[in-house]
Structure 1
């Protein structure tokens, strides 16, 4: 992908990985529109020089409004990144977890599909473009503390594969970004010393995106242990290791 001359919309880019990638695309020479729910954060990001649009991926009307606004202001849009997501710990022994499960699916999976559906006709009409979905290393190596998060990201992976097959021949490519644990704040670095630093992660991602052709999966070195755990025969041991986090649930200590 030529990252120097794109018109990129990133849904869910008011913080963390999304905002860092927005800055990297802009620094490379692309035009970037940052989408998010919180008006205050969007105002701060606009002060950096970004175009912004309000979008709540759990609200079909909000997604349609964002699509229509971008159609007016950025008719040359050629890259859509579905970054919006939530990760919530759940205790599956307690049926009260269902609310968290529903929120997770609504945002991570259905929100991704809503954004893709909103912009796919435009990209097909252009005859060229890129959709970047965002799954997770947890899609391939579950983190038992966040079961529905893992399920939602595994679904995003499967959906990305099907979308790529269905869009074959249209000129629209599909790339799946697969992040490992990424520390987006100093506090997160302290909580998870193994997490990849945000800057290092973004640098590696942008380098991978520049490849021609664009890889089907954007896999930084830090996520390979997740992606290929079954193939390497490390899956069971790693899931058992990650299950130790269940001790943080109330009543499990």
Structure 2
């Protein structure tokens, strides 16, 4: 993936990882479009930044995604990078019958949203120079957090989808997976100040260094996520899972 001269679309770009990366990409000479559901956060994110724009989008709405894709391509014909970052996470007790509203919303947001947006933009992206799709998954794609089974499963699904998509789009669109560790953001209550979680700025800085490698790695993995990513290969899944149970 080129480090500069791109037109990059970042979903969930109004806060957290999406915002941190969007602003860094903008700082390094890219035009950046961010989306999200909170218009106030989006406007604050782009304040004072030329060549950075914001458009509201609910990634759970299939019709809205289709309309958005047509609009964004018309307004930004040079769009060549899609970053699927929008996601939600909640804890669940799946040990007994329960209300599945939050679990179903997690699936729609974290899996169907990216798949629908990729589908809506893939033909356009395939016609662009330096095209790339970046899917933000999680270290929990490789070892699940027991108290967040649906979230972990959605990230595992997007890891698998990214691997398959990379094969299908080879030579047309670069497919990159970014798998964060536990990072201090507002993804869950109290997470932004939680001890032991990676500071957001440190994470974003390390990610940008990895994106600057030539060629860009197929998987962007900061050092903090490697114990999760490599757990199955080195036989440490039971040990890592035991540690995650205490979180």
TM-score past 0.5 threshold: yes
Which 10-residue stretch deviates more, 62-71 or 136-145? 62-71
Tell me the TM-score normalised to structure 1 length. 0.91
- Closer/same/farther in 2, CA of residues 38 and 244 from structure 1, 3 Å limit: same
Matched residue, 2:15: 15
Higher helix share: 1
Match of 2:204 among 202, 205, 209: 202
Deviations 1:96-124 (A, max 9, x none): 24222111100001111011111111011
Matched residue, 1:55: 57
Matched residue, 2:178: 177
**Cα contact 1:178–1:217 (8 A) shared by 2:** yes
Give the 3-state SS of the residue equivalent to 1:35 in structure 2. strand
Tell me the TM-score normalised to structure 2 length. 0.93
Deviations 1:17-52 (A, max 9, x none): 000001100111111001111222222234232211
**Cα contact 1:54–1:66 (8 A) shared by 2:** no
Structure 2, gaps ≥5 residues long: none
Structure 1, gaps ≥5 residues long: 246-253
Per-residue deviation at 1:234?
A: 1.6
Deviations 1:207-252 (A, max 9, x none): 111111221100000000000012222210121221234xxxxxxx
Matched residue, 1:69: 71
Matched residue, 1:251: none
Which 10-residue stretch deviates more, 153-162 or 32-41? 32-41
**Cα contact 2:80–2:129 (8 A) shared by 1:** no
Per-residue deviation at 1:127?
A: 5.4
1:134 and 1:116 map into 2 onto residues whose CA distance is 13
1:183-222 superposed matches below 5 A: 183-184=184-185, 187-191=190-194, 193-222=195-224
Q: Which segments of structure 1 move beyond 3 Å, counting only runs of 4 or more?
A: none
Give the 3-state SS of the residue equivalent to 2:175 in structure 1. strand
Give the 3-state SS of the residue equivalent to 2:77 in structure 1. coil
Matched residue, 1:229: 231
